[in-house]
Structure 1
Amino acid sequence: MNKKDPRVQQTFEMLQGGFTSLIQAMPLEQITIKKLTEASLINRTTFYLHFSDLQDFILQYCETIFTKWTEISNHAVPTPLHRSLDETYPGLVNLLEHIKQEKIMYSCLLVEHRLPQFTIQLNEWMKKYTNQGFGVIQPAPHFDDYEREVREVHILSGTIGAIIWWVKHSFPITSQRLARN
């Protein structure tokens, strides 16, 4: 898909809007290309010009979300090393604010109708940005590779779980407080 062509970009935006409205109304298993193209007000031929199937579209839909997350996180002031766990990660605060602004979409993606592809890409993105965009916690030199990996999985699972909890419970605490915790 040539994302620089304005017509292609407009088509993709229409499909994104249609998909977002469908995922709010029904589980992923019930979404078909026919339903997606009808909700997006485009014909199926146009869809197939850009995507091979629904999974191809969902993959690009998720990639677009994480590209946006990268832009949001990159606008934060980078923190080279955290001196204290009480410090907030500016990139994470910005990201949480974005999630809060787009609460309906993220409620569908993270809580109501979890997309497997989104979850996989979320884990990969969080792994990358935990050590880049959000700031780096100084590694403990006494951990071997397995211990370091287990620690990373534990931290990522906790962070993702906390974000899901936050969305599920309609943002009961501020994004700054969640990022700090």
Structure 2
Amino acid sequence: MRRLLLALPFALLPLAAVQANEHDHDHEHDSLGAHEHGVARLNAALDGNTLELELESPAMNLVGFEHAASSNADKAKVAAVRNELESPLVLFGLPQAASCKVASQELESPLFGADEHHDEHAKGHDHKHSEVHAHYRFECATPDALKSLDLAGLFKRFPATLKIQVQLIGPNGQQGAELSQSNATLSF
């Protein structure tokens, strides 16, 4: 399943290129992997009973800053955000009828202190862009009941996240969508 998620961005590159050409943005980093405040990316893949979600977001969207947490207030904020990311069933609205349980989760960010070597190396750079990566795997007893994914909880908890670019592989093939606070639900 991990291979499926890793292949997802490549499978949807033609779709992203078409959308970029249609919208003709003037952003200097207009690509699938761009670091843009207010914008997060979510890869979702449903395969049998397994649903995988991979969220990538600039730390600014979630924590409110990107520098290493040094003050007690900053450390408390990072800890609070990490704690909330450890409750994916609150952030991602999955239909109760699907009976999904969290099978595994991984959280990565330089702010969480997991990669000390990277932090030391990055301190020498003027423009440090801290990202938060969250990978969740759910086992769903009734995957046919997964008709939608509601991100309202994510937008509500992290209001600096203005839009989420979603790439989904599900029973009906692959699709891409851009969700916002006013349009927070994606149908499978």
Do these two structures clear the TM 0.5 threshold for a shared fold by scoring above it? no
Quick one: higher RCO (CA 8 Å, sep 6+), 1 or 2? 2
**TM-score, length-normalised on structure 1?**
0.31
Q: Which structure has more strand as a fraction of its residues? A: 2
Greater helix percent: which structure?
1
